[in-house]
Amino acid sequence: MDYGRMFHMDGRQAFVLGAGSGIGRESARALAAHGARVICADRDLPAATETAALIDDAAVPYELDALDRAAVAAAATEFPDVETLVFTAATNVRKRLLEYSVSEYDRVVSLNLGSSFDLIRAFGANMVRRQRGSIIGMSSIRHRVVEPGQGVYAATKAAVVQLLRTAAAEFGPSGVRANAIAPGVVDTALTQQIKNNPSWYQAYADKSALRRWAQPEEIAGAVVYLASDASRFVTGSVLYVDGGWTAVDGRFDPPGI
């Protein structure tokens, strides 16, 4: 192992779904900084183009609606040499179970879980054929801990973990790895509803050991690690990047200790 180059990805191609903003954008930038050629995919092409412009020659924008199964298959056909797949696209409807509509349930499940299934299969088939690759999906701390109003989102994020673990088991003999990242609370568009409520925002900040929210760029290091040779014996795992959220109970600080 050349430790000086263990994070280098020169000549490798990465496909980042959700690259138009947030964690996806920062992941694309970080991968490119370590030598990868990045396809910045997003349903919002202008946003994907903006991300690619931040990276310059090492990136190309690509319009892709993750809910379009045929389009996902076409993307995998167009980019058969992708060695790293990162998918971050997700949505959430924060409602208690008894208040959920069927259409809201379908919307959350279709994007968070259905698109993950399609992406893993489409790009994973190419990786298996080429005998190498790394699949990285965004789960969440909600796959492990939940609260009122997060049930359907949490269920999809737990399912994504199990899909990736299954991919690790099935693709592993072909040299393909699959792992999940479980961020805590991150300052992105998906959490705007919480940020709009100061007491809710502060409660989330206080829950983590670091007493603050994460910024999207603080998740990108985990993506680079799982994409690179630094993690070449890591598969079927969940990497928590949550500021200590899942490690600390956080409800009471005993006095006098």
Residues forming the active site: 153
CB atoms within 10 A of CB 196: 9
Q: Which candidate, 13, 9, 11, places its Cα nearest to that of 75?
A: 13
Collapsing DSSP to helix, strand or coil, 98 comes out as: helix
Cite the DSSP H helix spans in 82-139: 102-109, 115-130
CA distance linking residue 226 with residue 48, whole number of Å: 23
Number of alpha carbons in the 13 Å side-chain half-sphere of residue 62: 22
The structure tokens 């370590």 sit at 34
Which of 227, 218, 220, 231 is closest to 29 using CA atoms? 220
**Would you say 59 and 51 are in contact if contact means Cβ atoms under 8 Å apart?**
yes
Pick left, alpha or beta for residue 93 (phi over 0 → left; psi -120 to 50 → alpha; otherwise beta).
beta
The CA radius of gyration of the chain, in Å to the nearest whole number, is: 18
